[in-house]
Structure 1
Amino acid sequence: MITFLREGLRASTSPLALLVLAPLASASLCQTAHAQSVPVTQPAPNEDVTLELDTITVTSGKTEDRVINDLAGSSVVTRRQIDLLQSSRISDVLQGVPGVAVQETGTDPGQAINIRGLQDFGRVNVLVDGARQDYQVSGHGANGTFYLDPELIGQVDVVRGPVANVYGSGAIGGVASFRTRTIDDILNPDERYGAVQRLGLGTNGAGFVTNSMAGARIGTAADVFGQFVYRNTGDYRDGNGDTVRDSDSELTSGLFKFNLFPADGHALSGSALLQNYSFTNNGDTGVGTRFRNDVAANTYTLGYRFSRPDNPWLDLSVKGYYTTTDDHKRVVTPSSTYGYLGVEPGDPLDYSMATLGFDISNTSRFEAFGWGHALTLGIDGARDRGETVDRAGGYGAAFTPSGERNLFGGFVQDEVRFTPWLRAIGALRFDSYELNGGGINADGSRVSPKITLGVEPVKGIEFYGTYAEGYRAPSITETLIQGSHPFPIFNILPNPYLRPEVSRNLEGGVNLQYDDVWKAGDRFRAKISVFQNRIDDFIDTVAVGPVYNVPVVPGMPVEACAFAPYLCLIGIQDQQYQNIARARLQGAELEAAYDWGGGFVTVAGTLMEGKNDITGDPLNSVIPNRISTTLGLRLFDDKLTVGTRLTFVDASKKNVTNPTAGYGLVDLFASYRYDENISGDITIQNLFDRQYIQYLNSEPSPGLTAKFGLTVKFASR
């Protein structure tokens, strides 16, 4: 593995430096120059794109290009792929993406994304239609969940590592950008209006889902789109046949979008996504107080875009957004500890996070000194306001404190095509933050550089190398948390002196793309990358203060431990979020696909390790090594697609946490398209009813599960 520079590049934190250093040479995708070597073609709406690496993405930069041409560890999950495997959770959607895992609780629809061993508190920037999802509640599970049903997703773009610094502050692990459904997902370009209805049924708790979509184009002046999703799931059984209690939930969701085109090149857009989840559980441990949860997760966006081929200097995007996630909890049955505090059924505990943000950028395309440039300038900002109202014991307010955090950033990025075989990307990002709450105030700022070089010595083989830095401000909870854990009893202390995390990522990779390899019309694509990401001032919980003993009997005085030590837990210490000096993560990733017309095969693999550089201890958030492959065949004039997905996870983490040995999974799928308006799908997950627990999860995953789907479309030209 490549050895890191000990101190890397450190730039001035002055905003002026951002402008002075703007002309840093760099590039990757200047559309005009890049088209000379690799044409960029966007797949038509509803086209069956098997090679996701040929899909258009904009996530690692602000310019469009195919994933295979991106000089970064990037991947795309298309709507066709989601439908083929009938994904019902985000973990299903991202299962085949290298370097990515999803931590989930079977008793809560919320999920957290882990990229290259980093998650929680915004280390992965999760976007829905460009809007940050910063909701966070502290507990025994993930500290940074979001809510989104796969039926609402049109496409997912993932970038691994701190290289997508044009997409907001904090993403030292990477970016997961979810685009919700649009009118182009249901109507072809020549269709004026129409509707799509999908019905799904499943065994083993998969339950029932209905998805109704409709859209209309009002000439060339506007279009509107609406979607309604209802999902009702039941308790599922694991591979041993045991029922996982409280794994049922109910979702009611609506999505509305509009686009206005007042003049050539101008577009106004807006969207409203409303989701309401209902479920009951005993917390993320399954043994705490039982709560009834009603979660409202809403996202609103409003944007303006100007882009016209005759004006290469102006490709302007302006977006504002507002996201809210509110979990209204009501006590059903208090635990013994809560009962001693006088908590009664019906007592409320409310968590909420509201994020107000904006993102403005412009890309200018021009030639200078014989080189093609795509120069992008942008600013973005977000205000997180977290509020906890706790009348159910006080532990919720202590562990998820109320507070406010303001993030602001600006960036400059230049993508340069020097020759048909040489290109580069150079970028600088300025970040600043302010945080306050509970009488504590904190702030900070920094400039983070990025430089990427891509070389194509032989047509179809392009090597790239990247050095990039990222900056993550401490979260509200990490800074302000203060309270006593119910059992065993210990204190969690605030830390107003937390320093932001700084990541320094060194990465190398190769993109491979060839057509007509073994037969006319076949296609081969592959991305291979190796990386080493060093995080200075990494924030984690550590034991602090004196060692003491804690009684195991509620109400028993601590002094009794001196006379009856067998009734006490020994060696307990307080906990506090602290900077642990340095963490290091390194690994390799592979994503490859081959399509020969009559079928396709894909492979995704991850090798990874991480440790605390000071103590040598492993980082618990690093996922196990994993490889998955999908094989599909097309039959009957491509109307029928059948195939299997195999996933193998090794036992490399079984002694770290969640002591589970490695496991293998087999999924089957079949999709039949009667015509362009009627299709049916069958999926069988965990064919051999394997008992397993996904790494970092608290409950075992479902055993054998079958899903059935029917989709019917009506459209008028």
Structure 2
Amino acid sequence: MYFLTAAQPCAPTARTARTLTVAAPCTRTSLLVLRPVALACLALWGAQVGAQQGEPVVQPEVVVTAVHDQSPIQLVIDPKQPRQPIPASDAADYLKSIPGFSALRSGGSNSDPVFRGQFGSRLPLLTNGAHVLGACGGRMDSPSSYISPETFDSLTLVKGPQTVLWGPGTSAGVVRFDRLPPEFEQPAARGTASVMAGSHGRNDQRAELEVGNPQMYARISANRSHSDNYEDGAGQRVHSAYEKWNADVALGWTPDADTLAELTVGAGDGWAKYATRAMDGSMFRRDSVGLRVEKRHLTPWLSKVEAQLYHHSADHLMDNYTLRTPPSSGMMAGGKASNVRRITNGGRLALTLQPLQALEVVTGVDSYVSPHDKRAGTPSMSYQLQPRVRDAKFSNWGWFAESTWKASASTRWVSGLRLDQAQVRRYTGNMSDSRSDRMMPSGFVRWEQTLAQGTTVYAGLGHVQRFPDYWELFSPSNGGLNQGNAFQLLKPEKTTQLDFGAQWKGERAQAWASAYVGQVQDYILFNYAGSSKNVRNVDARTAGVELGGHYRFTPAWTAQATLAASWQNNTTDHRPLPQTPPPELKLGLDYAQSAWTAGALWRLVAPQHRYSRDEGNVVGRDLKPTAGFGTLALNASYRVSPTVKLLAGIDNVFDKYYVEHLNLLGNAGFGYPGDQRITEPGRMFWVRADVQF
């Protein structure tokens, strides 16, 4: 039903062959259906040929509708598994299937993930160990928009400030998307491909090829995702179309079982329409290069050395004339374009030590340097003719050490310490100034105890200090040299949080619970009162819980449920902290028998009456309470052969007209009133085929 494993604190393990996915939702015209069906048939033929030549690979049993904890504080998921709702086009859309996650919605794609009500750099996203950062001052190109989940092999979530291994500022947690090195026992080649189409013109394609032998390998992966403007439950069309593509190549050298050297190169691009903004995203150019080296079992006490270098460039173009008609009056009349770019160069060196049989220590250093520049233009004066002007440069150096001590067969202690030095330089015309914060400490200690067979409890206390990010220092109106100088006065956030929980596994059932209570000093809060966007520090308290479980009634039928709720309060002003997601309950029922599976997912979201008007973050703000809603989704699948599986589904079965609490205001250029948020998609049909050969 779902794939979860206890994750190791160091690097992921090598993977085996995976399933190819082909998906296609039903559409308004026969053309959109016939094209993916034809491609699926071709993939089916290829898979049947491959099945005759090699060993078949067993596919996941049912469509994933809920994700459950399986290890204390940490979750590892296979993002290639088919899931419902319709397969995700960005990382935030996929993360919403995990209890505690929601997304700050802005249309059809490129949402921003929110975990336990925390947003932005409080929840860093990494791909293959590299930090992903967008360039837009309003996060139109959120880091999640550059990540296509199904092109990765592993998604790892660490909840709360309970690790120090993966960079600074992880107050909400850390999310890692990784591609794992393939294993070859003999020379071989294998491939996967995917096609998807659906309501509102949705169609995706994905392909992957691996060749190698025990000493070396090459891996090529590519994907494309497209959607037209969707219709909401009332039949209104929302300006929300998008298209994006990614292509990545990995070359690996494995001279022996304990050595790995890998070079990766990747690129991507796309466009997206936004009914929530005065501009659309006309370009999301991504260029990435990475090099990593790993060596295991060097000595009895030095079990692993890993080194990594990476480069990531996000080159983003916003304009109001490529994907829409520009206004004829006002500041944006005739068309405007803004081109922003953020380059992140970083590295990491980590040693895994085992001085005692019961003790393991991972220690090392990491760093990155991230300059930001921008330029502007119009239809008659192209932005490409203008010079890029640098406005900011961020850097961070960190040292970390994390230990795991098995005190007994049933008791484990995990602890870590991290020290960071952050610096940022601001450029204004011919002037520049800088600020830095030295020795920002972070750390945690966690106790894990096995009480009985199948029962585990844990409790961890963590503290993290987070330096203000680009969006907090440069996007507010009071960030200028003579406007309150938030650049110099904004303090780092300091979060202290207690995480605790339990899990139980039986023969036919599983249940788990995780909760947290936190105190945040100098929380960075945006205020939209008046015509400006200001930022300041306040103190806050947070708390929340995630619950889940499943029960297998018969060998074929399984019921499951998850619940997530967050509470946040601004203790400085004695009112709720804004942008807090409402409680959410998911109920699921799955059937799996022989070659057939079926499933239902009922999502219930409570009203949100706790809000703080005109306050929020760099992207969104609170205006008023929002109503609750419920949506039903159905899916079914049929296994054609050991390597081929066909799936179909319906999302929002009853064509519900609803609005998410975390959502942006509709832009006045599309006729939205000043307090109306955009609505979500109505009923959507999709079909899908998974193939591997």
Specify if TM > 0.5: yes
Question: Are the counterparts in 2 of residues 84 and 681 from structure 1 also a CA contact under 8 Å?
Answer: no
User: In the alignment, is residue 583 of structure 1 matched against residue 540 of structure 2?
Assistant: yes
Question: Are the counterparts in 2 of residues 683 and 706 from structure 1 also a CA contact under 8 Å?
Answer: yes
Task: Give the one of 267, 272, 278 matched to 1:279.
Answer: 272
Q: 1:473 matched to which residue of 2?
A: 467
- 1:676–1:253 distance in 2 versus 1, CA, 3 Å: same
How far the C-alpha of 1:191 sits from its partner, in A, is 8.1
Query: Deviation per CA, 1:584-611, whole angstroms, max 9, x where unpaired?
Result: 1101111334456534443221121101
- 1:576–1:625 distance in 2 versus 1, CA, 3 Å: same
Partner amino acid for 1:510? A
Q: 2:651 matched to which residue of 1?
A: 685
- 1:99–1:136 distance in 2 versus 1, CA, 3 Å: farther
- C-alpha separation in 1, matches of 2:452 and 2:545: 23
- C-alpha separation in 2, matches of 1:341 and 1:536: 39
Query: Deviation per CA, 1:657-678, whole angstroms, max 9, x where unpaired?
Result: 3643111111111222212332
User: In the alignment, is residue 210 of structure 1 matched against residue 205 of structure 2?
Assistant: yes
- C-alpha separation in 2, matches of 1:279 and 1:592: 37
Q: 1:643 matched to which residue of 2?
A: 599
- C-alpha separation in 1, matches of 2:550 and 2:516: 22
Partner amino acid for 2:682? G
Matches within 5 A, 1:123-522: 123-139=122-138, 146-180=145-179, 183=182, 192-205=188-201, 207-217=202-212, 219-245=213-239, 247-281=240-274, 284-285=276-277, 288=278, 290-291=279-280, 293-308=282-297, 311=300, 313-332=302-321, 339=329, 344-345=334-335, 347-367=336-356, 372-391=358-377, 402-438=391-427, 439-444=432-437, 445-481=439-475, 494-514=486-506, 517=507, 522=508
Q: 2:688 matched to which residue of 1?
A: 709
Aligned to 1:538, the other structure's residue is in SS state strand
Partner amino acid for 2:370? D
Q: 2:113 matched to which residue of 1?
A: 113
Query: Deviation per CA, 1:295-329, whole angstroms, max 9, x where unpaired?
Result: 11233221111124984522122111111111123
- C-alpha separation in 2, matches of 1:189 and 1:200: 33
Unaligned runs of 5+ in 1: 1-27, 32-39, 58-65, 544-570
- C-alpha separation in 2, matches of 1:269 and 1:140: 31
Partner amino acid for 2:584? R
Q: 2:618 matched to which residue of 1?
A: none
- Residue-pair matches, total: 607
Matches within 5 A, 1:629-668: 629-636=587-594, 639-653=595-609, 657=622, 659-668=625-634
Partner amino acid for 2:608? S
- 1:151–1:455 distance in 2 versus 1, CA, 3 Å: closer
Aligned to 2:145, the other structure's residue is in SS state coil
- 1:94–1:352 distance in 2 versus 1, CA, 3 Å: same
- 1:573–1:196 distance in 2 versus 1, CA, 3 Å: closer
Unaligned runs of 5+ in 2: 1-5, 20-57, 613-621, 665-677
RMSD: 3.6
Task: Give the one of 558, 580, 584 matched to 1:626.
Answer: 584
Q: 1:96 matched to which residue of 2?
A: 97
How far the C-alpha of 1:178 sits from its partner, in A, is 1.4
- 1:334–1:390 distance in 2 versus 1, CA, 3 Å: farther
Aligned to 1:151, the other structure's residue is in SS state helix
User: In the alignment, is residue 607 of structure 1 matched against residue 565 of structure 2?
Assistant: yes
Question: Are the counterparts in 2 of residues 43 and 49 from structure 1 also a CA contact under 8 Å?
Answer: no
Partner amino acid for 2:97? G
How far the C-alpha of 1:339 sits from its partner, in A, is 4.9
Q: 1:561 matched to which residue of 2?
A: none
How far the C-alpha of 1:482 sits from its partner, in A, is 6.3
Query: Deviation per CA, 1:223-248, whole angstroms, max 9, x where unpaired?
Result: 11112222221111011111002x11
Partner amino acid for 2:367? G
- 1:664–1:468 distance in 2 versus 1, CA, 3 Å: same
Aligned to 1:204, the other structure's residue is in SS state helix
- C-alpha separation in 1, matches of 2:460 and 2:134: 31
Partner amino acid for 1:616? H
- C-alpha separation in 2, matches of 1:374 and 1:484: 47
Question: Are the counterparts in 2 of residues 170 and 472 from structure 1 also a CA contact under 8 Å?
Answer: yes
Aligned to 1:87, the other structure's residue is in SS state coil
Partner amino acid for 1:194? R
In the superposition, the TM-score normalised over structure 2's length comes to 0.79
- C-alpha separation in 1, matches of 2:478 and 2:523: 24
- 1:601–1:165 distance in 2 versus 1, CA, 3 Å: farther
Query: Deviation per CA, 1:58-108, whole angstroms, max 9, x where unpaired?
Result: xxxxxxxx962x33154535422448953344344223311111223115x
- C-alpha separation in 1, matches of 2:255 and 2:571: 57
- C-alpha separation in 2, matches of 1:484 and 1:427: 36
- C-alpha separation in 2, matches of 1:653 and 1:275: 40
How far the C-alpha of 1:431 sits from its partner, in A, is 1.2
Q: 2:635 matched to which residue of 1?
A: 669
Question: Are the counterparts in 1 of residues 135 and 316 from structure 2 also a CA contact under 8 Å?
Answer: no
Question: Are the counterparts in 1 of residues 79 and 150 from structure 2 also a CA contact under 8 Å?
Answer: no
Question: Are the counterparts in 2 of residues 86 and 683 from structure 1 also a CA contact under 8 Å?
Answer: no
- C-alpha separation in 1, matches of 2:311 and 2:689: 34
Q: 2:549 matched to which residue of 1?
A: 592
Q: 1:76 matched to which residue of 2?
A: 77
- 1:67–1:660 distance in 2 versus 1, CA, 3 Å: closer
Please identify, of 440-449 and 302-311, the stretch whose mean Cα deviation from structure 2 is larger: 302-311
- 1:629–1:324 distance in 2 versus 1, CA, 3 Å: farther
Question: Are the counterparts in 1 of residues 168 and 398 from structure 2 also a CA contact under 8 Å?
Answer: yes
Aligned to 1:105, the other structure's residue is in SS state coil
Question: Are the counterparts in 1 of residues 141 and 316 from structure 2 also a CA contact under 8 Å?
Answer: no
Aligned to 1:479, the other structure's residue is in SS state helix
Aligned to 2:580, the other structure's residue is in SS state coil
Question: Are the counterparts in 2 of residues 427 and 451 from structure 1 also a CA contact under 8 Å?
Answer: yes
Question: Are the counterparts in 2 of residues 401 and 481 from structure 1 also a CA contact under 8 Å?
Answer: no
Please identify, of 642-651 and 474-483, the stretch whose mean Cα deviation from structure 2 is larger: 474-483
- C-alpha separation in 2, matches of 1:447 and 1:415: 20
Question: Are the counterparts in 1 of residues 59 and 643 from structure 2 also a CA contact under 8 Å?
Answer: no
Question: Are the counterparts in 1 of residues 191 and 208 from structure 2 also a CA contact under 8 Å?
Answer: yes
- C-alpha separation in 2, matches of 1:52 and 1:683: 10
Please identify, of 585-594 and 236-245, the stretch whose mean Cα deviation from structure 2 is larger: 585-594
- C-alpha separation in 1, matches of 2:354 and 2:84: 37
Aligned to 1:537, the other structure's residue is in SS state strand
Aligned to 1:159, the other structure's residue is in SS state strand
How far the C-alpha of 1:481 sits from its partner, in A, is 4.1
Query: Deviation per CA, 1:384-428, whole angstroms, max 9, x where unpaired?
Result: 2111212369xx99xx98201101111111110111121111211
- C-alpha separation in 1, matches of 2:124 and 2:191: 33
- 1:101–1:75 distance in 2 versus 1, CA, 3 Å: farther
- C-alpha separation in 2, matches of 1:609 and 1:316: 41
Question: Are the counterparts in 1 of residues 635 and 649 from structure 2 also a CA contact under 8 Å?
Answer: yes
Matches within 5 A, 1:565-576: 572=530, 575-576=533-534
How far the C-alpha of 1:273 sits from its partner, in A, is 2.7
